[in-house]
Structure 1
Amino acid sequence: MKFYSTNRSSPEMSFKEAVIQGLPQDKGLFFPEHIPALPSSFFEELPDMALPEIAFEVLKHFTAPDITPDALRAICKEVFTFPIPLVAVEEGIYALELFHGPTCAFKDVGARFMSRCLQAFAEPNKPVTVLVATSGDTGSAVANGFLGVANIEVVILYPKGGVSEIQEMQFTTLGQNITSVAVEGTFDDCQQLVKQAFSDEALNNEMRLSSANSINVARWLPQMVYYFHAWGQWRRQHPEKDAAGATFAVPSGNFGNLAAGVLARQMGLPVRHFIAATNRNKVVPAYLETGEYTPVPSVSTIANAMDVGSPNNFPRIQEMFGNNYGQLKQVLKGYWTDDAPIRSAIQEVKQQHDYLLDPHGAIAYLSLKQHLPVLKTDGIFLETAHPAKFKGSIDDILGSDIALPEQLQAFLNKPKQSGSIGNSYSEFAALLQEQHKLQSQP
């Protein structure tokens, strides 16, 4: 499989080349040269397939020939080691729980898969520096996925004061090959610094850079797997229903997760509709309403992992519909909400259904409540992170003291190791160059 740039001004690359480079030089996004259609037999067998098996059958089309079938099977077995259950919340509405991995967030899937790919591609004495901007869960998932991997250094940028305390502890207490840097600015500022680094020709001649944000194809593609898995579980529970009778509601910030779901649909997953569920950072819902796509500065909300004013991955969704607004709008529905309804939904769902939502899942749940009466399907919303990752907010909303799962307790009381820079590319470039000098010393 070859990958081209959505801006079409950079050469095509293999999977290996696209993963290592992360971002095309023309500042587009890598996209597969064609989208394979999965056979009907795959969907017939899907309800009874194990997660690693689903992953192998879906991803083999994109990773060949750079990763052999045997190597890919081994990677899938190593990555997909935790359950991703579909849980009934109320009649016709289900939560896909993506928080049972090592850092209690959906990004464990993509980060672990990418780390194993880069490890397979790593060359002795040629270290790769992985850059990642995070608004919360990406940092912890990437840091833990790459921790201790030889020949790979990770640099995480995050907005100072813009992530939850538990999220921050998960990527600032590790040390080893993980460097965390607080930026005086927003997530969009962090993301822009990473983009500038990739377009800095002199810096790229000096060191090998890669990205671990969802712009990287090895982070983005494996997220398809749990959409197939969710549909398989739903079909096993409801074989009597229309195979296309479920709508996915996806909490959306940088839109990599939703783009993966749409790609699964392009490969044959029988889903008619997706909902882009956002907080007050409503660039995409506004686009779906007006046809005008206008990124704006992000604003802070209770659902901080979705505080993105310029979603990096949305061009991939547009690419899948040939940039045809009418066709895109038939499949993708929009929804946004303020903080107050999020708080109310968390309270009400806990009281009425004894299910605890996190702020991001709450937005997706609310989007289903609005759209399902019109769409007339069942609804599956993605619970992208464990509610305890937002313990301060959840405790305040419920007047409770929710327990931390074991994965999160492990980060408590560890010393924080984090640097700090202003919102300045010159400062960031200097930091990377200094780190590269240290790596190069014998």
Structure 2
Amino acid sequence: MSKIEFVSTRGKAPSVRFLEAMEQGLAPDGGLYMPDHWPSLLGQLWNEIRGKSIQDIGLVLSQAFIPEVPGDELTPLVEDALSFDAPLVHLHDNTYVLELFHGPTLAFKDFGARFMARMMSYQARRKGRRMVILVATSGDTGSAVGRAFEGVEGIDVCLLYPSGQVSKLQEQQLTTIGNNVTALEVDGTFDDCQKMVKDAFLDAELREDLRLSSANSINIARLLPQMFYYGRALAQYEGEDPVHFCVPSGNFGNLTAGMMAARTKMPAHQFIAGTNVNDVVPSFLTSGSFVPRPSRRTISSAMDVGNPSNLERIRALYPEMTTLNEHLWAASFDDEATKKTIRKGFREFDYIFDPHTAVGYLAARKYRKEKQSDHPVVILSTAHPAKFRDIIEPVIEHSVTMPDRLAACLEKEKQSIELEASFQALKTFLNGQY
């Protein structure tokens, strides 16, 4: 089989290798990069997955999709990025939780951010030039990317976040990094931030002058490492029945990574998406018509997305609605249901859900009831509950232990630059700063 190249979802841009797709972030035609074909890794990985470490899994998948980086150079990059695990916890019956919050910033974004930081640094050294990374964040992405790139040679980072719409702890995490990382506090929503970043990439002169790239999930280099922990879940699963994966979803990058892994023959019976009241994807799956809407604020703030960019990749994977509905099921839930589930998890299972994982649990339960399914379900737990202790503690009437690395950021002084929600404001800042 020929070596993999990456093509735009919109089909009007030349194919490129992985490192070029990573550096560009968004394809020149405004589309998102996807592999031009899918290698079957049944014999190489999935048939032998039991007991494999996340480093083992990451190396096999990386070698398949990044053939232009020699193995002796790729191995240390992957091993350094994946310095923490994703434990699979048995919650009850056939329900499992894959804990993705054991990295430096206690969120699943650490996997993608650390991998991308090392690949970006490799590319910057290889080309001998600086790069500017733009990131729109609704919470955890900003701190994960900021920490991953902190002090990385040849790279500057700008984090755009919606003012007043991330938790206090999340804001402290992403505004206290400093060094080569700048936090831009945007007077708008996450969707505004995301649009500003996309507009920057569509400005050819700005993009070339500053060597812009993105660390959002529009970047294929964020999605590739998110495939790794799906494999790690299967490596720890001791049952024989095929599993469903249930993913709390906002921008749908995390779920897209799982669907991409499935295209390499990863055994996954079904994908389930749980959203909050920002339900554009569940509505799309029901009606067949995608109608983006302004996002609404909820307690599961990282999922407050009204125009999820990775739906474009999902539609490229499954262009026919009938086929898509065979692989993806979705449902939405409000804050009251989320709080009840947080309370239920603590009282009945002695487990503390963060609001996003609670939405995932709700989706798994509703799917099982509607489909009368008893298949095992792995729910991806995306953030440590301590990041949302102000929401959780009144609900469970119990304190949530604060990890030391989270407590430390609360003692630091916030450093952010206020910016209006317009591309012109961002362009003016970038041209003045870099």
Tell me which interval the TM-score lies in, with the shorter structure as reference length. over 0.9
Q: How big is the alpha-carbon RMSD for the aligned residues of Structure 1 and Structure 2?
A: 1.1
Task: Decide which of 283, 306, 315 is 2:312's aligned counterpart.
Answer: 315
Match status 1:300 vs 2:303: no
Once the two structures are TM-superposed, the CA of residue 259 in structure 1 deviates from its matched residue by 0.3
Q: Give the aligned partner of residue 111 of structure 1.
A: 113
SS of aligned partner of 1:180: strand
2:417 maps to which residue? 419
Q: 2:273 aligns to what SS in structure 1?
A: strand
Structure-1 separation of matches of 2:208 and 2:343: 53
Structure 1 segments (4+ residues) deviating >4 Å: none
Out of 376, 390, 393, the position equivalent to 1:392 is 390
Q: Following superposition of structure 1 onto structure 2, how do residues 278-357 of structure 1 map, counting pairs within 5 Å?
A: 278-321=275-318, 323-357=319-353
Distance 2:208 2:219 in 1: 20
Instruction: Tell me the distance in 1 between the aligned counterparts of 2:305 and 2:158.
Output: 20
2:257 aligned partner: 260
Structure-2 separation of matches of 1:207 and 1:42: 39
Find the aligned partners of 1:119 and 1:199 in 2 and give their Cα distance: 23
**Match of residue 375 from structure 2:** 377
CA distance in 1, matches of 2:128, 2:20: 18
Q: Quote the Cα distance in structure 2 between the aligned partners of 1:429 and 1:131.
A: 12
Deviations 1:238-282 (A, max 9, x none): 2xx32x2x1111000111100000011111111121011100010
The 10-residue stretch of structure 1 (420-429 or 358-367) with the greater mean CA deviation from structure 2: 420-429
Deviation at 1:399? 2.4
Question: 1:101 corresponds to which residue?
Answer: 103
Give me the whole-angstrom Cα distance separating, in 1, the residues matched to 2:70 and 2:404.
Answer: 35
Amino acid at match of 1:407: R
Partner of 1:432 in structure 2? 430
* Matches of 2:53 and 2:207, distance apart in 1: 41
Secondary structure of 1:47's aligned partner: coil
In the alignment, residue 112 of structure 1 is paired with which amino acid? R
Larger deviation, residues 91-100 vs 202-211: 202-211
The residue correspondences of 1:75-154 to structure 2 (distance < 5 A) are: 75-123=77-125, 126-154=129-157
2:119 alignment partner, SS class: helix
Q: Do structure 1's residue 358 and structure 2's residue 348 form an aligned pair? A: no
Would you say the 8 A contact 1:372–1:378 is kept in 2?
Answer: no
Shift of residue 410, structure 1, vs aligned partner: 2.3
Contact kept, 8 Å, 1:259 with 1:317, in 2: the verdict is: yes
Letter in 2 for 1:258: L
- Kindly provide the CA deviation profile for residues 418-440 of structure 1, in whole angstroms up to 9, marking residues without a partner as x: 0001112111101000111xxxx
Q: TM-score, normalised by structure 2?
A: 0.97
| Contact 1:29 1:215 (C-alpha < 8 Å) held by counterparts | yes
Alignment deviations for residues 404-423 of structure 1 (CA, whole Å, 9 cap, x no partner): 11221221210111000111
2:206 pairs with 1:203: yes
Instruction: Give the letter for the 1:198 counterpart.
Output: F
1:224 and 1:5 map into 2 onto residues whose CA distance is: 20
Q: CA deviation at 1:398?
A: 1.7
1:36 aligned counterpart, secondary structure: coil
* Paired letter, 1:367: A
- Alpha-carbon distance, 1:344 to partner: 0.2
Contact 1:4–1:10 (CA<8 Å) still a contact in 2?
A: yes
Q: 1:440 — aligned with what? A: none
**Aligned partners of 1:396, 1:433: CA distance in 2, in Å?**
45
C-alpha distance in structure 1 between counterparts of 2:422 and 2:260, whole Å: 35
The alpha-carbon deviation at position 125 of structure 1 amounts to 5.8
Q: Deviations over 1:310-350 (max 9, x none)?
A: 001111111112x1110010010011000001000000110
Number of aligned positions between the proteins: 428
1:299 & 1:49 partners in 2: Cα distance?
Answer: 41
After alignment, is 308-317 or 202-211 more displaced?
202-211
Distance 1:424 1:274 in 2: 36
Which residue type is aligned with residue 385 of structure 1? Answer: A
- On the 8 A contact 2:133/2:213 being kept in 1, the answer is yes
Q: Percent identity?
A: 43
Q: Which residue of 2 aligns with 1:439?
A: none
1:233 CA drift (Å): 1.0
Matches of 2:129 and 2:60, distance apart in 1: 32
Whether 2:219 is the aligned partner of 1:223: answer: no
Amino acid at match of 1:267: T
Structure-2 residue corresponding to 1:74:
76
CA distance in 2, matches of 1:290, 1:266: 25
Structure 1 residue 194, shift from structure 2 partner: 0.3
In the alignment, the residues of structure 1 paired with residue 157 and residue 292 of structure 2 have an alpha-carbon distance, to the nearest angstrom, of 28
Answer whether contact 1:2 1:13 (CA < 8 A) is retained.
Answer: yes
State the 1:44 CA deviation. Answer: 3.2
Structure 2 Cα separation of the partners of residues 19 and 38 of structure 1: 23
User: 1:40 offset after TM fit, Å?
Assistant: 3.1
Cα separation, 1, equivalents of 2:286 and 2:323: 14
Give the alignment partner of residue 31 of structure 1, picking from 30, 34, 40. Answer: 34
Q: Distance in 2 between matches of 1:333 and 1:192?
A: 27
The alpha-carbon deviation at position 41 of structure 1 amounts to 5.3
Instruction: Give the SS at the match of 1:366.
Output: helix
- The runs of 5 or more residues in structure 1 that have no matched partner are 437-442
Q: 1:372–1:379: 8 Å Cα contact kept in structure 2? A: no
Distance in 2, Cα, partners of 1:48 & 1:92: 20
1:250 is matched with 247
Whether the aligned pair in 2 keeps the contact of 1:277 and 1:336 (CA below 8 Å) is: yes
TM-score (norm. length: structure 1): 0.95
Given that residues 46 and 232 in structure 1 are in contact (C-alpha distance below 8 angstroms), is that contact kept between their aligned partners in structure 2? yes
